[in-house]
Amino acid sequence: MIKNKRKPEQFKLITDKTFPFAAKEAYNSLRTNLLYALSPTNGKIVAVTSSNAGEGKSSVSINLALTMATAKVKILLIDADLRRPSIHKKLKIDNSTGLSRFIVGFETMSDALKREVFPNLDVMTSGPIPPNPSELLGSENMRIFLQKASDYYDYIIIDTPPVNIVTDVAVMADCISGVLLVTSYGNTTFEDVKKSNITLEKVNAKLLGMVVAGVENKKSIYKKDSSSYYTSK
Domains and CATH numbers, the chain: 25-231 (3.40.50.300)
Mean pLDDT of all residues in 125-150: 96
Distances (CA, A) of 8 to 19, 21, 23, 83, 211: 17, 21, 18, 19, 19
SS (H, E, C) 48-59: EEECCCCCCHHH
Q: According to the model, what pLDDT value does residue 12 have?
A: 87
pLDDT digits (tens, 9 = 90+) for 184-220: 988 999 999 999 999 999 999 999 999 998 876 554 4
CB-side neighbour CA atoms (13 Å) of 66: 18
Q: How far from the centroid of its chain's Cα atoms is residue 15's Cα?
A: 17
pLDDT digits (tens, 9 = 90+) for 57-104: 999 999 999 999 999 999 999 999 999 999 999 999 999 999 999 999
Q: According to the model, what pLDDT value does residue 183 have?
A: 94
pLDDT above 90: residue 122: yes
**Whole-prediction pTM:** 0.89
Instruction: Say if residue 61 is exposed, middle or buried (CB neighbours under 10 Å; 0-12, 13-18, 19+).
Output: buried
Give the C-alpha separation, 183 to 54, whole Å. 9
